[in-house]
Amino acid sequence: MDIDHDACYRAICARDPRFDGRFFTGVKTTGIYCRPICPARTPRRENVEFFASAAGAQEAGYRPCLRCRPETAPDLGAWRGTSNSVSRALALIELGALDEAPVERLAERLGIGARHLRRLFAATLGASPIAVAQTRRVLLAKQLIHETTLPMTEVALASGFGSLRRFNETFQALYRRPPLALRRAGAADAGGAKAAGETTILLRYKPPYDWPAMLSFLGARLIAGVETIEGSVYRRTISLQGEHGIVSVEPTEGAALRVSLRFPKLSALPNVIARLRRVFDLAADPEAVALDLAKDSTLAPLVALRPGLRLPGAWDGFEMAARAILGQQVTVAGAARLAARLTERFGEKLCCFDPALTHVFPEPAALVEADLSGVGLTRARAESLKKMAAAAAGSPDLFSAARSPEDAQALLRALPGVGDWTAQYIAMRLLREPDAFPAADLGLRRALAGDDGARPSPGKLLTRAENWRPWRAYAAQYLWTCGAAAP
């Protein structure tokens, strides 16, 4: 890790919010680690050390501060650009890859050795993969203690602990008090009135955040019966672990999104959180993106016009891939209508009642041998969709973070009807590849047309986009949003 001690110390002296989530401060005299914005008295320079991650601080023997609550710091994904393997491993850990499997299995999924993976984590985050997974569990549990009224048994289950005993032992060792004492101390933070069986939690992000742009993008692509937007609230059906549920997301105070979940299995909560972080691009650092893209004369006014613009993600891999195929050579509204018909015919009906949400999106297996003649697809696109469904059904890891973006795109391009545009679009929204760029997109070429109306060729557009690396996907989103021509 390359951490500038002097720069970090100046940041904590100023309590500069720009550094929140970028590093954590370990105070040697107290054994506590804090966020850069902690309101406690600033310790002496010689009494602190700095860590790139909360996991690194905890592995070094520090316990989380009860005042600044490190679990509420924005998770900026600071590893991006440092190690592709670490980035992919973190995405898998967030989805629960180490909850029941060893590090060796995680390394195998990534195509590297376990020893090498541990070395990469130590160099990048200052912590082992196991420490990262344990820290995520502990910090999520502490957030649930503060922000919900769930019984401790359910908190333990929802945060990934195998048993209540292990949960209690961990908190006693780390915080030197039982979990219930933390709830009593933070009782005022617990959520207000909620519907029966509903869990509410806050997901933090680095401001600014262009929520209207996010809602506009998702709203234009809503699948009737699966998704809906009511005011500033986005809601959708979900299907996980053989169960159905509903999740709703809305902005709230304190640079956070309020998530309300109705789902019968609380053990799915970490997976839901990971997927929502992907959908709403909560790991982005908008200042870093804006700083680079604003250097371009074409993008500078767009960046100034839409501060905090995010790259909308996708809830599910197959749903995203199917939506991309449905969107080929049709309007955005036309693709949404096709997706709604597909869902009504082949998606399961929602198990729980909701006046606006009725179905979950079809599983890949439901479309492999389906008769798609009544959906409104051309024969070629119907065949492409069925081939995609067969590939997804036969390879559950087809859209997994275990694959590198290059390997994933190569596999997608090998499928009938999936060209570079579709593969790049899936990489942007699903694989969270910030440098993906669909150069053949008509909307991007139109946005960069010359004064005479001539549009650049895909090759020339790629050359033009070299200046936007490593944020070409965000550049595309700015051009789409400000030009209202997103696919």
The pair of structure tokens assigned to 65 is 């501060």
Is 441 one of the catalytic residues? yes
Q: Are 279 and 312 in contact (CB under 8 A)?
A: yes
Place of tokens 């990489």: 427
Cα-Cα-Cα-Cα torsion 99, 249, 320, 341, nearest 10 degrees, comes to 130
Catalytic residue (one of 34, 38, 65, 68): 34
Q: How far apart, in whole angstroms, are the C-alpha atoms of residue 331 and residue 308?
A: 27
- At 30 the three-state DSSP class reads coil
Residue 183: alpha-carbon gap to chain centroid: 28
Structure tokens at 287: 């200042």
Residue among 20, 285, 292, 441 flagged as catalytic: 441
Report how far residue 319's alpha carbon sits from residue 361's, in angstroms, rounded to the nearest whole number. 7
DSSP per residue, 314-328: -S-HHHHHHHHHHTT
For 97-131, give one letter per residue: b (16+ CB within 10 A) or e: bbbeeebeebbebbebebeebbebbbebbbbbbbb
Residues 6 or more apart from 334 whose CB is under 8 A from it?
none
Task: State the SS3 of 381-435.
Answer: HHHHHHHHHHHHHHCCCCCCCCCCHHHHHHHHHCCCCCCHHHHHHHHHHCCCCCC
Helices (H), 148-254: 152-158, 164-175, 179-185, 211-220
CB-based contact 157:150 (threshold 8 Å): no
Residue 68 among the catalytic residues: no
Residue pair 314/320 in contact (Cβ under 8 Å)? The answer is yes
Residues 232, 233, 238: CA angle, nearest 5 degrees: 155
Give dist(CA 174, CA 169) in Å, integer. Answer: 9
Paired with 164 in beta bridges are: none
List, in sequence order, the alpha helices (H) in 15-113.
Answer: 54-59, 84-94, 103-110
Task: Give ∠ CA 403-409-413 in degrees, rounded to 5.
Answer: 135
> How many CB atoms sit inside 10 A of residue 76's CB?
18
Strand locations in 219-364 (E):
227-230, 233-240, 243-252, 256-262
List, by residue number, the catalytic residues: 34, 441
